[in-house]
Amino acid sequence: MKNHHALSVIFVLLFPALANASMSIMKDSSGKVIAVDPWSYLDEDVMWTSTRSSNPAGGRVHGQLKMKYAIEDNNWRNSHFHSGNDSLTFVQGVMRHDALPGWYLAFSDGRTTNYNGTWENQTYISQNQWTQLIIGHEYFYKRLRYGWDVMGGSASIDDRWQGRAKFFTDLRVTDNLSFFNYLYQQIDHRRSGGSQNDRDVRSFQIEPGVQYIINNTTGVWFRQQFASAILDRAQWGDIDEKSWTASFGVWRNWGKLSTTLSGGYGHYKKNNAQPEDGEVFQNTRNRFLKVSVNYPLTSRFTASGEVTGSLINQSGSWVTNGDALTTDYKLMLDYNF
Can you give the residue range of the structural domain that contains 267? 23-336
Within a domain: residue 48? yes
The amino acid sitting at 299 is S
Q: Which H helix or E strand runs over 8?
A: helix 2-14
Task: Encode the chain (337 residues) as per-residue pLDDT tens digits.
Answer: 444 444 333 323 333 333 333 356 766 667 777 777 777 656 656 566 655 565 656 568 888 888 999 999 999 887 788 889 999 999 888 888 888 888 999 999 999 999 988 877 888 899 999 999 999 999 999 989 999 999 999 999 888 999 999 999 999 999 899 999 999 999 999 887 656 788 899 999 999 999 999 998 899 999 999 999 999 988 888 999 999 999 999 999 888 888 899 999 999 999 998 877 778 999 999 999 999 998 889 888 889 999 999 999 999 888 888 899 999 999 999 888 8
The amino acid sitting at 101 is P
Neighbouring residues of 315: CB distance < 8 A, sequence distance ≥ 6 = 280, 282, 283, 321
Within a domain: residue 189? yes
The answer to whether residues 155 and 129 touch, using CB atoms and an 8 Å cutoff, is yes
Strand, helix or coil at 78? coil
Within a domain: residue 195? yes
Domain count, the chain: 1
Within a domain: residue 221? yes
Beta strands in the chain (DSSP E): 25-27, 33-36, 61-76, 81-97, 103-117, 122-141, 144-155, 160-172, 177-190, 198-206, 209-213, 218-233, 239-254, 257-272, 280-296, 301-315, 322-336
Within a domain: residue 32? yes
Within a domain: residue 9? no
Nearest Cα neighbor of 222 from 166, 268, 181, 258 is 181
Within a domain: residue 156? yes
Within a domain: residue 64? yes
The answer to whether residues 151 and 132 touch, using CB atoms and an 8 Å cutoff, is yes
pTM: 0.84
- CATH number of the domain encompassing residue 185: 2.40.160.40
